[in-house]
Amino acid sequence: MRTIRGVGASSGIAIGEIAVRGDAGRAVERRLIDDPTAEVARFRAARDAAVTQLGRLRDRVEDEFGDDKASLFDAHRMMLRDPGYTAGIEKLITSEGVNAEFAVDAVAERFAAMFAAMDDSYMRARAADVRDVSRRVIDVLEGGSGDMAGGGGSHGDDGRHIILAEDLAPSETVRLDRSAVLGFVTAGGSANSHTAILARTMGLPAVIGIGDAFDTADDGHVAVIDGTSGMVVIDPDEATLAEYRGRKAKYEDHLRLLRELKGRSTETRDGRKIRLYANIGRPSDVTAALANDAEGIGLFRSEFLYLESEDWPTEEFQFEAYRQVARRMGDRPVIIRTLDIGADKRVGYFDLEHEDNPALGYRAIRICLTRPEIFRVQLRALLRASAYGNIAIMLPMITSVQEVRDAKRIIEETKEELRGEHIGFNEHIRMGIMIETPASVIMADELAAEADFFSIGTNDLTQYTLACDRQNPNLGRFADPHSPAVLRMIRMAVEAAHRHGIWCGICGELGADPSLTDLFLEIGIDELSVPPAGILPLRGAIRSSTVIRDSPVIRNGAPDPS
C-alpha cells in the first residue's frame, strides 16, 4: 500500500483500477519553411478551424451543464483571437522562417510562463488554458480531427476506472465518458483551474498536484482517491478499502440530502425565514454561488479587482466586473463592499507607507475618504452597474457617524455627476455598513439611522474586540471567536439594527460555523453570507432548527420576511 498526498480539487471518493493516460504534451518539431506568407495563412486557417471546434464544444457543454460552464469556451475562443497571441505567432513565423506548429507552441509556452509566474493562484491556473487552446491549433495543423480527448482503456470488471495523467486540459475533461470514468488524478494542475471547476460540475472526484509521485507503472493497480482531502492510496489493504467504502457511502448520502435542499426555502421549523447569501471575491465565483443555490451575494470583496491588477483598475474595468455579477444574479441582491485595501492586503501602486501596526492603520474607508479620487472611480462603476441588477453598496471599517455621512456625500456627488452625463443608475441603491469594530457596535443606534442594513464582519470584530492580531499564529488560544465578548457585540448590533427597522446579517467566518447557528437564530440574525460550499449544509441546519421568537419588523430593502 502506498499513500500519496495531492490537492483535493473535486470532492468525493472513487475506488477502482487506474488507467494511465499518455502525456498529451508531445514535442513539436521545429522546421524551416520557404514561404512565410503561406505559413501565416496556414496558421490563420488552423486558428479559425479551432475557433469553430470550440464553438461546437461550447454548444455541447451548454446543453449538458448550462451556460455558466459553456462560457469557459467563449474565453478560450477569445484567447485564440487575442491580438498579442496572434501577432506573436505570426512574427515568429515571418522573422525566423519557422513552421506554424513550432511558432504556436513557442508563443503558447511564453504566455503560459507569464501566467504561471503571477502571484494570484487564479491567474496561474490560466496557463493551462493557453496550452489547451494552442494544443488544439497544433492538432489542426497536423491534420487532427479536433477530438483531443483520448482516454484510458477499459479497466476493472465493469469497465470503469480512475484516470492517472500528467495533466488534463478543460476540453479533454469535458469529453470524459462519465459512464467509464470514476475520477482522475493528475501530476500537475490547480484547484482554480477550469479542469477542476469542470470536474466539480461533472461530479467527478479529482486529486491534482501529486507531482513526482506520478508513475505510469501504476496502470491497472487498484486505487482510492479522496477529492476532499487530496489523498490517493495505491493498492489499499482490506481495512483501508472498508474504511473508504464507508466514507463513500456517507458522502453520497450527504450529497443526496443536499440535492433535496436546492430550491427549498431557508426557514426554521417554526417558519422563521433567513436569507442565505454567498461571499465571493471575483466575478467567476458567481458560478459556485449559483451552483449552491445562493439567494444573493452578501459580500463581494471588490479589493480583489485591485489586488490582481498591476495598475489602477479603470472605471470601465470595474464596471464590467460588477455588471457581470449583477446580470448573472438577476433579481437576487448583490452587496458589493467598497475598497478594503490596507492591513494584510497590500497593493504596490497605492504607495502606502510602512506601518508598524497596519491592522490599526490606514485602510479601507480611511483610504477612500482621504483619497476620494480613488473612491469616485469605484463609485461611478458601482452606480453604473446598478442599472443592470440588484446591487447594494457596503462600507467597511466604519467607526463613526461622520465617516458614513462623508461617504454618503461623495456617493451623492457621484450620482449628480452621472445625472449630468445622462448615465443611468439605480436612484434608490441601498447603502449598508459593515459592523467590524467595537466603535461601530457602541455607535450602532446612530449608525442604523444612516444605513439601510448592517453586515457583521466577525473576523475583524473578533480581532479588535479581543485585541488579538488575526495574523499572529501565537495568539490562537486567545483569539477565540466564540468569546462571550464577541457574541455579545453581535447581539448588540442586531438589536440596534432592529430598533431602527433595518436588517442585520453576518458575512464573516462565524456565519458558517454550525455550532453557532441556533444562537444566531435566537439573537435574530436576518441574513448569513458564507462561502458557496457552505450554503446547502447551513440551509439543512436552519431547516432542522426551531427558534421561538418573533421575526423582527424591518425596512429598507431587508430580506423578505414573507
Annotated binding residues for phosphoenolpyruvate, written as ranges, equal 301, 337, 459-460, 470
Residue list for the binding site for Mg(2+)? 436, 460
Nearest residue to 457 via CA among 495, 505, 491: 505
Q: Is 229 helix (H, G, I), strand (E, B) or coil?
A: coil
Distances (CA, A) of 160 to 155, 185, 213, 240, 547: 6, 15, 23, 20, 48
Position 214: which residue type?
A: F
Residue list for the binding site? 301, 337, 436, 459-460, 470
Q: What does the angle CA 502 – CA 291 – CA 551 come to, to the nearest 5 degrees?
A: 25
Residue 12 CB-density burial (10 A; 0-12 exposed, 13-18 middle, 19+ buried): buried
Nearest residue to 438 via CA among 553, 329, 360: 360
DSSP annotation string for 27-94: -----B-S-HHHHHHHHHHHHHHHHHHHHHHHHHHHHHH-HHHHHHHHHHHHHHH-HHHHHHHHHHHH
Whose grid coordinates read 457583521? 456
Report how far residue 464's alpha carbon sits from residue 467's, in angstroms, rounded to the nearest whole number.
Answer: 5
**Grid cell listed for 145:** 480531427
Report how far residue 277's alpha carbon sits from residue 275's, in angstroms, rounded to the nearest whole number.
Answer: 6
Contact partners, residue 418, CB within 8 Å, separation at least 6: 380, 383, 384, 424, 425
Report how far residue 321's alpha carbon sits from residue 334's, in angstroms, rounded to the nearest whole number.
Answer: 12
Task: Answer yes or no: are the C-beta atoms of 507 and 299 closer than 8 Å.
Answer: yes
Q: Annotated active-site positions, please? A: 194, 507
Task: Answer yes or no: are the C-beta atoms of 457 and 394 closer than 8 Å.
Answer: no
Q: Is 428 helix (H, G, I), strand (E, B) or coil?
A: coil
